[in-house]
Amino acid sequence: MLITTRLGREVEVNEDYTVDQNWAHYTADEHARWDRLYDRQREILKGRACQEFLDGLEALKLSDGGIPNFEELSERLMARTGWKVVAVPDLVPDEVFFDHLANRRFPAGNFIRREDQFNYIQEPDVFHDVFGHVPMLSHPVFADYMEAYGKGGLAAAGKGVLQNLARLYWYTVEFGLINTPDGMRLYGAGIVSSPAESVFALEDPSPNRIHFDLERVMCTNYRIDDFQQSYFVIDSFDELLDATYQPFGPVYDRVRGRADYAVDTVLASDLLHHRGSQAYAREKTKA
Ligand code: HBI
Ligand code: FE
* DSSP string computed for 206-236: SSEEEE--HHHHHTB---SSSS-SEEEEES-
Map out the domains of the chain as residue ranges.
16-286
Asked if 176 and 198 count as a contact pair (C-beta separation under 8 A), the reply is no
Q: Does the beta carbon of 107 sit less than 6 angstroms from any atom of ligand 1? A: yes
Report the pLDDT value the prediction gives residue 9, as an integer from 0 to 100.
85
188 lines ligand 1 (CB under 6 A): no
Helix (H, G, I), strand (E, B) or coil at 12: strand
Q: 261 CB under 6 A from ligand 1?
A: no
Q: In ligand 1, which atom is closest to the CA atom of 165?
A: 17
Confirm or reject: Cβ of 44 under 6 Å from ligand 1: no
164: Cβ contacts below 8 Å, ≥ 6 apart: 156, 218, 219, 252, 255, 256
**What pLDDT score was predicted for residue 287?**
67
Element (H, E) at 34: helix 28-44
**Rounded to a whole number, what is the largest CA-CA distance in the chain?**
55
Pocket flag, ligand 1, residue 92 (CB < 6 Å): yes
pLDDT in the model for residue 264: 97
E-only strand ranges, the chain: 2-4, 10-12, 84-88, 105-109, 177-180, 183-186, 208-211, 230-234, 272-274
Segment 17-26, tens digit of pLDDT: 999 999 999 9
**Dihedrals φ, ψ of 231, to 5°?**
-120, 150
> From ligand 2's centre to the CA of 261, what distance in Å?
23
State the distance from the centre of ligand 2 to the C-alpha of 137, rounded, in angstroms. Answer: 13
State which residues of the chain have pLDDT below 70. Answer: 287
Residue 206 CB partners (closer than 8 Å, separation 6+): 200, 227, 229, 276, 277, 278, 279, 280, 281
For residue 109, how far is its CA from the centre of ligand 2 (angstroms)? Answer: 10
CB-ligand 1 contact for 149 (6 Å cutoff)? no
Whether this model's ipTM surpasses 0.90 comes out as yes
Whether ligand 1 lies within 6 angstroms of the CB of 190 is answered as no
What's the 38 CA to ligand 1 centre distance in angstroms? 23
pLDDT at 92 (0 to 100): 94
CATH topology of domain 16-286: Phenylalanine Hydroxylase (1.10.800)
Model pLDDT, residue 227:
96
Residue 163 CA: which ligand is closest?
Answer: 1
Distance CA 31, CA 43 (A): 19
The SS3 of residue 194 is coil
pLDDT at position 82 is 98
Rounded distance from Cα 212 to ligand 1 centre (Å): 21
**Residue 170 pLDDT:** 98
